[in-house]
Amino acid sequence: MMCENATKLASDELDRRLSIGETLRLRLHLFGCDACSGFVRQIGMMRNATRRYVATGASDKGDR
């Protein structure tokens, strides 16, 4: 799998459940690709930060 496909699947995984085949292909690629593994960590951190931000109600207070 090329990195372009892997990053697309990693992004898709945030919005939908990947098929077993997609998951296996992505995980296999991530096992051997530090760049894509880093990308997955980064989007995971951004998602978690966004969830914490929303959970604190900061967006309702006008804090930006």
Structural domain total, the chain: 1
Closest by CA position to 48, among listed 6, 14, 16: 14
The answer to whether the CB of 45 falls within 8 A of the CB of 39 is: no
Using CA atoms, how far residue 31 sits from 26, 27, 28, 59, 64, in Å, is: 9, 6, 5, 37, 37
**What confidence category does residue 55 fall into, taking pLDDT thresholds of 50, 70 and 90?**
confident
* pTM for this prediction: 0.76
Average pLDDT over residues 56-64: 63
21-34 tens-digit pLDDT: 999 999 999 999 99
**What confidence category does residue 56 fall into, taking pLDDT thresholds of 50, 70 and 90?**
confident
pLDDT at 43: 95
Q: Which domain holds residue 54?
A: 3-60
- What the block records as the tokens of 46 is 């951004």
- What is the spatial distance between Cα 50 and Cα 37, in angstroms, rounded to a whole number? 20
pLDDT at 58: 66
